[in-house]
Amino acid sequence: MTTQFLSDNEQDIEVAAQIIKDGGLVAFPTETVYGLGGNALSPSASNAIYTAKGRPSDNPLIVHIADTASVYELAKEVPDIARTLMEAFWPGPLTIILPKADIVPKETTGGLDTVAIRFPSHPAAMELIKRSGVYIAAPSANTSGRPSPTTAKHVKEDMDGRIEAIIDGGPVGIGIESTIVDLTSDIPTILRPGFITKKNLEDIIGEVRIDPAIIHPDPNLRPKAPGMKYTHYAPQGELTVVERMEVAIPTDATPEFDSKYYADEGAAAVADTINALYNKKKEAGSRVLILAPEEHRHFYNIEDTIAVGSIDSGITVAARLYAALRECDERGAEFIYSESFKDCEIGGAIMNRLLKAAGQRIIHV
């Protein structure tokens, strides 16, 4: 198959929409990551998506819509809480899980009786859905197991020759996938953390839980989002996260100076550990890379350190994380050591991805 490369102008989106109508697959930008789209109500389009990604077919797809009214066609019931969330966060990076209506094929939901629905805010995504006149099932447009694509170039690396077209809308804004919240349980439950945090949700709807299987990853706990159980986002090299131990700041500390002092001490301890690990592997002749925020790059061998956003700005870290993991593969890294990014506002979502990429390998110093 020859993959067409399209831009995000009107004519090109029309070409892409026609491909979707005809049952083909098109990768397109969203505000989170690039998606791999096909007609969500067509079992054969869903099957083609699984094949193109090399994805297990028990892992359900998210159905993308371009107006809230569509929810009432896709879901059997729409509780008040869903309406409240739709109003507060759509269009935007929130996916809701509801009982599915009969028109949604089991191929799309991986055999489940529920459906994941998302109304993306990216203009090209909205335009594609509207023009194709169908709902678009779209997982992230990566080969199963690889980091999600945040640029059209990443999509090309994984999907060239496997799908009909790729729309290039430039780098995405957010960089990690949507927050998924299950509204079929008594208490709304986050199945995948994302840019919209637990606190953001609680401010609107009150108590929200996080699926315990993603807080304490454990082979005996089965995450409710089937996709969360797979090793994922993983670079080819062995990734290890190095994180500082929580340090209690003494109660008699003078606020500003001392908290900065303790933060700096922690950063220095992490850097010492990473440098020791780096040097050991380097001496053994391995290719080693380091992931750290821009401000910490000077702690390390500059050439071998990839900057992942800025300290204390989770938004910049999320935007760069997957590209950094892909760069590790391009540069042939056999071992990768990463600082932790848990202390920023979307630290939960970032660490969920980073620790999955690391196969939960973490060292506390």
Q: What are the helix (H) ranges across 160-239?
A: 198-205, 212-215
Q: How far is the CB of 144 from Mg ion (least distance, A)?
A: 8
- Say whether residue 267 binds ligand TXA (CB under 6 A): no
Nearest approach, Cβ of 325 to Mg ion (angstroms)? Answer: 13
Residue type, 268: A
Residue 95 touching Mg ion (CB under 5 A):
no
8 near ligand TXA, rule: CB under 6 A: no
Q: How far is the CB of 9 from ligand TXA (least distance, A)?
A: 21
Q: From residue 183 to residue 212, what is the string marking binding to ligand TXA with x (rule CB under 6 A)? A: --------xx--------------------
**Contact (CB, 8 A) for 325 and 147:** yes
The CA distance from 209 to 211, in Å, is: 6
Distance, in Å, from the CA atom of 262 to the CA atom of 252, rounded to the nearest integer, reads 13
Considering only residues 116 to 135 of the shown chain, the ones binding ligand TXA according to CB under 6 A are 116, 118, 120
Binding residue for ligand TXA, selected from 32, 39, 46, 151, defined by CB under 6 A: 32
Torsion region of 48: left, alpha or beta (phi above 0 gives left; psi -120 to 50 gives alpha) = alpha
Query: How many residues sit in the footprint of Mg ion (CB under 5 A)?
Result: 1
CA dihedral sign of residues 41, 45, 48, 53: negative
Structure tokens at 276: 């020791």
Strand 35-39 and strand 136-137: the pairing is antiparallel
30 contacts Mg ion (rule: CB under 5 A)? no
- By beta-carbon distance, which residue lies closest to Mg ion? 140
Query: Applying CB under 6 A, does 227 fall inside the site for ligand TXA?
Result: yes
Q: Which residues contact 42 (CB under 8 A, 6 or more apart)?
A: 23, 105, 134
For residue 111, the Cα-to-chain-centroid distance in whole angstroms is 23
Q: How far is the CB of 97 from ligand TXA (least distance, A)?
A: 5
Pairwise CA distance, residues 114 & 137, whole Å: 14
Q: Residues 130 to 159: which contact ligand TXA by CB under 6 A?
A: 138-140
Binding flag, residue 48, ligand TXA (CB under 6 A): no
CA-to-CA distance for 233 and 206, rounded, in angstroms? 31
The verdict on 357 binding ligand TXA (CB under 6 A) reads: no
CA separation for the pair 63, 65 (Å, rounded): 7
Q: Quick one: which of 30, 39, 95, 140 contacts Mg ion (CB under 5 A)?
A: 140
Q: x/- contact string, 53-72, with ligand TXA (CB under 6 A)?
A: ------xxxx----------
Residue 165 to residue 155: CA distance in whole angstroms: 10
Decide which of ligand TXA, Mg ion, none touches 356; Cβ closer than 5 to 8 Å per partner kind: none
8 A C-beta contact, residue 189 and residue 208: yes
Contacted entry of Mg ion, ligand TXA, none for residue 316, CB cut-off 5 to 8 Å set by kind: none
Three-state SS for 347-365 is HHHHHHHHHHHCCCCEEEC
Site string for ligand TXA, 80-119 (x = CB under 6 A): ---------------x-x-----------x--x-xxx-x-
The binding site for Mg ion (CB under 5 A) comprises: 140
The binding site for ligand TXA (CB under 6 A) comprises: 30, 32-33, 35, 59-62, 95, 97, 109, 112, 114-116, 118, 120, 138-140, 177-178, 180, 191-192, 224-228
